[in-house]
């Protein structure tokens, strides 16, 4: 007799799919598909764990590895008129960690908004305007966008721009951790930086009329801008 009992509930309301599970073992959901149009925002929220996003894929898919999912944890894909929301959520006032790693592929260059409580964010490819917000964890960016905003409480930020397409705005805010920003060779920047306790080094040419506008605010750590 199999003593492993798994309780799964699936709720479909309109275009929303919610999966809740009382199983706390490591499991995976592979290749959940979703649709997103060029005018929609892709919003991703994760409580604990990695968010890995890759653009330029052949189709839109989500792979989720559940590290520790208690009875109040849910994984949702919600299609709205103006956005697609992919989220790990839980009921209020519960001790469930709802730890999961999300690996997401998109076939276009959507406007994106990523939020992580505790965990890292890794992005590669080309995107529309992008906002990353996280409490604790590292950020790895390898791609391009005309607008990138990162707000981080604690963790190292690595930002590599593969190309610059016209006017580009970068807003980087970090509480604690090192910040490394790499731009294409011979890029000129207009920069405004403010730091608390840390060091700052810029190896790029500064020009008030440059197409790249960089605003850098950080508390503790080492910041470097280079090509």
- Can you tell me which residue has the tokens 């309109």? 14
Residue 78 near residue 36 (C-beta atoms within 8 A): no
CA 128, CA 145: separation in Å to the nearest integer? Answer: 6
CA 138, CA 163: separation in Å to the nearest integer? Answer: 22
CA 106, CA 41: separation in Å to the nearest integer? Answer: 12
Nearest Cα neighbor of 182 from 209, 210, 137, 143 is 143
Give the pLDDT confidence score for residue 1 in this predicted structure. Answer: 39
pLDDT tens, position by position, 82-102: 999 999 988 877 788 889 999
Residue 120 has which token pair? Answer: 């890292």
Q: What is the pLDDT along the chain (227 residues), one digit of tens a residue?
A: 333 322 222 232 334 444 444 343 445 677 788 999 888 999 999 999 999 999 999 999 999 988 888 888 888 899 899 999 999 988 877 788 889 999 999 998 999 999 999 999 999 999 999 999 999 999 999 999 999 999 999 999 999 999 998 999 999 999 999 999 999 999 999 988 877 788 889 999 999 999 999 999 988 889 999 99
- Can you tell me which residue has the tokens 């964010």? 121
Tell me the DSSP string of 78-125.
EE-SSEEEEEEEE-TT-----EEEEEEEESS--EEEEEEEES-EEEEE
Residue 172 has which token pair? Answer: 């980087």
DSSP 3-state assignment of 185? coil
Q: How far apart are the first and last CA of the chain?
A: 62
Please state which CATH number belongs to domain 8-226.
2.160.20
CA 181, CA 113: separation in Å to the nearest integer? Answer: 20
Residue 171 near residue 194 (C-beta atoms within 8 A): no
Residue 201 near residue 223 (C-beta atoms within 8 A): yes
Nearest Cα neighbor of 114 from 92, 97, 129, 125 is 129
Domain range list for the chain: 8-226
Residue 47 near residue 88 (C-beta atoms within 8 A): yes
């Amino acid at each position: 007799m199999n003593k492993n009992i798994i309780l799964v509930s699936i709720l479909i309301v309109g275009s929303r799919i919610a999966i809740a599970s009382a199983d706390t073992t490591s499991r995976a959901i592979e290749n959940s598909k979703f649709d997103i149009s060029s005018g929609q925002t892709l919003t991703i929220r994760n409580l604990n764990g990695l968010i890995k996003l890759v653009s330029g894929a052949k189709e839109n898919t989500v792979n989720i590895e559940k590290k520790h999912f208690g009875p109040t944890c849910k994984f949702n894909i919600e299609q709205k008129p103006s956005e697609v929301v992919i989220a790990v959520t839980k009921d209020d006032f519960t001790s469930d960690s709802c730890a999961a790693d999300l690996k997401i592929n998109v076939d276009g260059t959507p406007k994106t908004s990523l939020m992580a409580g505790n965990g890292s964010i890794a992005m590669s490819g080309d995107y529309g305007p992008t906002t990353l917000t996280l409490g604790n964890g590292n950020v790895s960016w390898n791609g391009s966008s005309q607008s990138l905003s990162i707000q981080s409480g604690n963790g190292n930020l690595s930002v590599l721009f593969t190309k610059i397409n016209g006017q580009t705005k970068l807003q980087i805010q970090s509480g604690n951790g090192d910040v490394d920003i790499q731009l294409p060779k011979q890029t000129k920047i207009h920069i405004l930086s403010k730091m608390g306790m840390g060091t700052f080094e810029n190896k790029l040419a500064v020009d008030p009329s440059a197409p790249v506008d960089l605003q850098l605010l950080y508390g503790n750590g080492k910041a470097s801008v280079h090509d």
